[in-house]
Amino acid sequence: MTDNPRGARILLRTMRPRPAPLLRGLLLLLIACAARGADTGLFIGHVWARPTPPGATVGAVYLDLNNQGTSPERLLRLSSPVAGAVQLHETRDEHGLMKMRQLPFIDVPAGGTVKAAPGALHIMLLGLKKPLLDGDTFALKLLFAAAGELTVQVRVRTDR
C-alpha cells in the first residue's frame, strides 16, 4: 500500500468488481438454473453434455426432468441447432450385452423425476455440425405434450 494518491486509485481499481467476470458468472448461473414449464410444475435441471473428439458426428446430452405437477407429462420431441437430428435413447444391459435403442417419447409421472444419465436414458445428438468443446453452451428445445416447447442451455463439460 502506498500514500501516493495515484497508487491508492490503482489499488481501489483492482479491488473494484470487474464487469466482465461478473457478467460471465451471471451467465453461467442462468445456464445452470433449471428451465420451468409455465404453470405445469415441470422443471428441467442438471443439463450437460460431454465434449466430443474432433470429427465425431454424435454426442449425448444428460438432464433431469422433474414433474412437480399433478398430471403426468410426456416429452415428445427434441431439436438443437448443433445437430441434424436429436433423439431419445436408452441403453440397457441385456444378458451382459449393452444395447441402445431409440425411444419414441419419455413419460414423466406426476410428482416424479426422470434422469437422463450416461449408460442409461440419454439424448443423442446426431449429425453434429461441429465438435462439442469443453465450456461451450448450446440450445436444446424440448417439446412436451402439456407444457409445450421449452428451451434449455446445455453446457459442455468434462467434470461430470
- Ordered by start, the domain boundaries in the chain are 1-32, 35-156
Q: Looking at domain 35-156, which CATH architecture does it have?
A: Sandwich (2.60)
pLDDT band at 5 (very low <50, low <70, confident <90, very high): very low
Which is higher by pLDDT, 14 or 103?
Answer: 103
> What pLDDT, on the 0 to 100 scale, is given for residue 41?
87
Helices (H), ranges, 33-147: none
> What pLDDT, on the 0 to 100 scale, is given for residue 77?
97
From CA 144, how far away is CA 73, in angstroms rounded? 7
Q: Is-contact 123 62, C-beta < 8 A? A: yes
- Tell me whether residue 153 is exposed, middle or buried, using C-beta atoms within 10 angstroms of its C-beta: 0 to 12, 13 to 18, 19 or more: middle
Q: What percent of the chain has pLDDT over 90?
A: 67
> What pLDDT, on the 0 to 100 scale, is given for residue 125?
98
Evaluated on CA atoms 43, 37, 79, 110, the torsion sign reads: positive
Helix (H) or strand (E) holding 131: none
Mean of the pLDDT values across residues 113-135? 96
Mean of the pLDDT values across residues 23-32? 46
Average pLDDT along the chain:
83
C-beta neighbour count of 105 within 10 angstroms: 12
> What pLDDT, on the 0 to 100 scale, is given for residue 95?
85
pLDDT band at 24 (very low <50, low <70, confident <90, very high): low
Amino acid making up residue 79: S
Model pTM above 0.85:
no
> What pLDDT, on the 0 to 100 scale, is given for residue 19?
54
Read off the pLDDT of residues 65-110 as tens digits, 9 standing for 90 and up: 999 999 999 999 999 999 999 999 999 888 888 899 999 999 999 9
